[in-house]
Amino acid sequence: MLDMHDTAVTFRSLCAEHGIAVTHQRQVLYETMQGMHGHPSPEEVYAVVKRRLPTISLATVYKNIHLFVESGVFRQLSMHHGTLRVEMNSHPHHHLVCSVCKQIQDCAPEELGLPAYSERLSNGFAVERLSIDVIGLCADCQRRPN
């Protein structure tokens, strides 16, 4: 387990790597998030970090979460949050989600290989279907200067 001092050291080198300033709020936000579990939203992170930094603003939380995600410090699980999307392809298929432009392409199961799965998991979850997102770079984004 990392103690607070190690966490601070880790954080400093993370910031150095990505060329971002080490500010107090950024540091506390990072430590707070490290201590959280599950899949928190910015509002949830804000509620927790506010306990240690009562004057921090929600905007700062948003800005820094984006920064952390871009730097690869944390990962975003909602790759296509933001707006509802309806699936128009009724054949079984997976999705190729470009991590840069967020474009979503369909992909036949044969291209990836179908995972085996059981209908009911040991924790009681009853499986209806798998939704597989393949995250990566689309051909266009690989060749773009960016």
Q: Is 126 in the site for DNA (CB under 7 A)?
A: no
Question: Which is nearer to DNA, 40 or 109 (by Cβ)?
Answer: 40
Selection from its own copies, DNA, none that 55 binds (CB < 5 to 8 A by kind) is DNA
Helices 4-18 and 24-34 meet at what angle, rounded to 10? 120
Confirm if 60 and 39 have CB atoms less than 8 A apart. no
Q: Is 131 in the site for DNA (CB under 7 A)?
A: no
Q: Is 56 in the site for DNA (CB under 7 A)?
A: yes
Selection from DNA, its own copies, none that 48 binds (CB < 5 to 8 A by kind) is none
Tokens found for residue 136:
């990566």
Binding to DNA (CB under 7 A): which residues in 67-86?
A: 81-84
Confirm if 42 and 58 have CB atoms less than 8 A apart. yes
Question: Which residue from 10, 128, 17 is spatially nearest to 33, judged by alpha carbons?
Answer: 10
Question: Which is nearer to DNA, 20 or 97 (by Cβ)?
Answer: 20
What is the C-alpha separation between 138 and 95, in angstroms, rounded? Answer: 12
List interacting residues with its own copies (CB under 8 A): 33, 36-43, 45, 65, 68-69, 74-90, 95-99, 104-105, 107, 111-118, 121-139, 142
Selection from its own copies, DNA, none that 129 binds (CB < 5 to 8 A by kind) is its own copies
Cβ neighbours for 112, distance < 8 A, ≥ 6 positions apart: 94, 132, 134
What is the C-alpha separation between 114 and 132, in angstroms, rounded? Answer: 10
Residues forming contacts to DNA in the complex (CB under 7 A) are 15, 20-26, 41-43, 53, 55-60, 62-64, 66, 81-84
